[in-house]
Amino acid sequence: MSDQSASLNGTAVGQGRLALRPEALTWAVLLLLLVLPFLLGGSWIFTLGVCFANAIGVLSVSVLVRYGGEVSIGHSFFAAVGAYSVAVLDTRYGLSLIASLPLALALGVVAGVAFAWPSRRLSGIYLAVSTMALALAVPEMINNMDGLTGGYEGLYVSQPVIPGVKMGLQRYYGALIVLALVVYGLSRLRRSRQGLVLLLAKAHPAAADAFGTRRVWARIAVMGISGGIAALCGAMLGFAGSTVSPSGFTLWSAIFLLVGSVVSFYGLTLPRALIGGAFLTLVPQMLSASGAWIPVLYGLALLGVILFGHYLPRLRALARRKGGA
């Protein structure tokens, strides 16, 4: 399946080449976001907090594409695991994010690994179809565990991390900090031993095998990482968005995460993740009056970006030929 993953990446820019420039851009964006609450109104702060959370979700899907060469439309499952870890600890036990975020991460990793094991031999479209089945099962599971999850109505997340500080600011900065940490962790991963072998396993599983990396291990590792990040996304969606309910974790939410990932060209940097997150957060906001346009717009964006990625090399070549002549 190496040809698939290769062309999946053909759409995106290699990570190694981008090592220098975005570093500065990332810091600039981060600084801007840190001071933004002093310049903007409360509703914008709220929206941006949700946007950061969505950006984490976009990263979780992009990581799977970049390091696993696989596509998922089931990440709403892992997000739900994270979101309900936070919401349940909050409402039932009065525990704040300090306690629930590590739990969300751990459960997300466990869920990722638990799903990766039975699907370890699947790749490409077969895996995509199984992730679809996974996403479909989510709302049903949540509704049937209503003793814990609150069923259809959902749960409200209200415990502050630092008592006394305005909740609006906590929601904003909490999501931003977690997003920044995820981006940082992923940039470390790219330079780590595990990152290197995972990337080889994606391109040439047989070569990775021959150098001591079992491909099953690689798949499970990538799914664990991706599931953990998706759970962080869910946790922060709950915290920044203040409510958690099954309608936020449907097959459509999972497809939207993939749309965000494609729109950000599967990028793992802060600016790219923010583009994906903003797309998922701001488009529904702007189209709130006519919700039916949301899927249309997402669909068009998905197609547009994919076709753009497909024709870009050709356009470049054309431009070069024109320039040379």
Partner 1 sequence: MMDRTTKALTGQGIALSFGGIEVLKGLDVQFRAGEITGLIGPNGAGKTSLFNCLTGAYTPQKGSIRYDGQPLDGLPPAARASRGIVRSFQHVALSPDLTVLENVMIGVARNHHAGWLHAFLPTGRGRREMAGMRAAAMAALSELGLAQAAEKLPAQLPPGMLRLVEIARAIVGKPDVLLLDEPAAGLNNAETRDLMRSLRRLASPDLVMVVVEHDMDLVMSICDRIYVLNFGAFVAVGSPAEVRADEEVVRIYLGSDDE
Partner 2 sequence: MSDLFRDLFPLVWSGMITGCLYALGALGLVMIFKSSRVVNFSHGNVAGFAAFLIYGFSSGMLMELSWGAAVLLAVIAVIAIAFMTYALISPLVFESDLTATIATLGIGLIAQGATLLIFGADIVSLDLPIPRFGMSVLGLFVTGYDLTVLAVAIVTIAALFFVIDHTKLGVAFRAISENPFAAEVCGLNLRSVHLFSWMVAAVLGVVGALLIVPTTFLSVTTVAAFMLQAFAAAVIGGFASLPGALLGGILIGVLMNLFTFYVSPEFSSTFLLGVILLALNIFPNGILERVGGTRV
Binding interface with partner 1 (CB under 8 A) = 6, 9, 14-17, 66, 185, 188-189, 191-197, 199-200, 202-204, 206-214, 217
Token pair for 265? 């060209």
Kindly state the smallest distance separating residue 60's Cβ from partner 2, in Å.
16
Which is closer to partner 2, CB of 42 or CB of 124?
124
Which is closer to partner 2, CB of 31 or CB of 286?
286
67 vs 97: CA distance, rounded Å: 29
- Interface with partner 2: number of residues (CB under 8 A): 54
The CA-based angle 135-271-31, given to 5 degrees, is 125
Does the protein bind partner 2 through residue 295 (CB under 8 A)? yes
Residue 38: DSSP 8-state: G
197 to each of 5, 34, 204, 205, 301, how far by Cα in Å?
15, 35, 10, 10, 33
What does DSSP say about strands 155-156 and 243-244: parallel, antiparallel, or unpaired?
A: antiparallel
262 vs 308: CA distance, rounded Å: 11
Kindly write out the interface string for residues 265-294 of this chain, putting x where it contacts partner 2 by CB under 8 A and - elsewhere.
--------------------------xxxx
| Neighbouring residues of 294: CB distance < 8 A, sequence distance ≥ 6 | 283, 284, 287
CB under 5 to 8 A by kind: which of partner 2, partner 1, none does 191 bind?
Answer: partner 1
CB under 5 to 8 A by kind: which of partner 1, partner 2, none does 73 bind?
Answer: partner 2
In the list 31, 34, 40, 296, the residue contacting partner 2 (rule: CB under 8 A) is 296
- Chain centroid to Cα 207, Å, comes to 29
CB under 5 to 8 A by kind: which of partner 2, partner 1, none does 124 bind?
Answer: partner 2
Kindly state the smallest distance separating residue 167's Cβ from partner 2, in Å.
33
Q: Quick check: 190 and 268 in contact, CB under 8 A?
A: yes
Please give the residue ranges that form the binding site for partner 2 (CB under 8 A): 3-8, 10-11, 71, 73, 118-119, 121-122, 124-126, 128-130, 132-134, 136-137, 140-141, 143-144, 204-207, 255, 258-259, 262, 291-303, 306-307, 310-311
